[in-house]
Amino acid sequence: MASKFQSRLVGTIILVAVGVIVLPDVLDGKKLHYKEEFASIPIKPELEGDVEVFEVLEPVEDEIALPDSPVEAIVQESSQPETVTASKENKVDDNVEIAIKPVTEKNEYQDSAWIIQLMALKNADNAKNVVKDLQKRGYQAHTKQEKTFTRVIIGPDISKSKLERQIKELEKITGSKGQLLKFKPLNP
């Protein structure tokens, strides 16, 4: 037969097993299962009320023509206020006329200007760093981006002799001998 200790131990194990298995279900009571409620989003929202309708108006054309070239206004005092005859003149006041004349753009570098093409670098960042350094030293330096490289250019300047002196100074600073070229304002 089993000893008293073994019987108590088996009884205790059975009571603990029943407590662990059965008591949570008994004490839990009615089980509630929670479900998340999803709100469905309609594919096409329903419109409330009437939809506003806007009328598209045709563009209004004015009969004012702009001049073909840039113009400048010249204000003149006039003794005869009624003598506005040309189509490019407009009457502003009784004694003041405005005559509109075409302006020709003048470029100070149009006749003869020069630049120094200092170097051409493949790395645009290096070219920008060289330009920043030269600008800090007082030179009029720029970059010109081309297909696969970036040119470092000094100028433009009207004085060819000044740029020739700068070529020697730039050779000491950068180590590259620049080339003096004629500046073309429309195609630099």
Average confidence (pLDDT) per 10 residues, the chain, 188 residues: 87 93 80 74 71 77 64 53 44 51 52 84 91 92 90 88 88 88 70
Q: How many domains is the chain partitioned into structurally?
A: 1
State pTM to two decimals: 0.41
Asked whether residue 55 is domain-assigned, the answer is no
**Predicted local confidence at residue 77, as pLDDT:** 54
Q: Tell me what pLDDT residue 113 has.
A: 84
Residue 157 included in any domain = yes
Does the residue 172 lie in any domain? yes
Cα 84-86-88 angle, rounded to 5 deg: 105
Pick from 152, 150, 155: nearest CA to 166: 155
Cα-flanking dihedrals φ and ψ of residue 145, to 5°?
A: -80, 130
Query: Considering the domain boundaries, does residue 1 fall inside one?
Result: no
The answer to the question of residue 64 being in a domain is no
pLDDT in tens, 37-58: 777 776 776 667 776 777 888 8
Domain at 126, CATH number: 3.30.70.1070
Question: pLDDT per residue over 67-97, tens digit each?
Answer: 665 655 555 554 544 444 444 444 444 555 5
In a domain, 84, yes or no: no
Report if residue 144 sits inside a domain.
Answer: yes
CA–CA gap between residue 3 and residue 12 (Å, rounded): 14
38: tokens are 């999803």
Domain span including residue 134: 114-182
The rounded distance, in Å, linking the Cα atoms of 122 and 100 is: 50
User: Which one-letter DSSP state was computed for residue 84?
Assistant: -
Count of Cβ atoms closer than 10 Å to residue 154 Cβ:
22
What is the spatial distance between Cα 68 and Cα 64, in angstroms, rounded to a whole number? 13
User: Does residue 126 sit within a domain?
Assistant: yes
* Token couple for 97: 């006329």
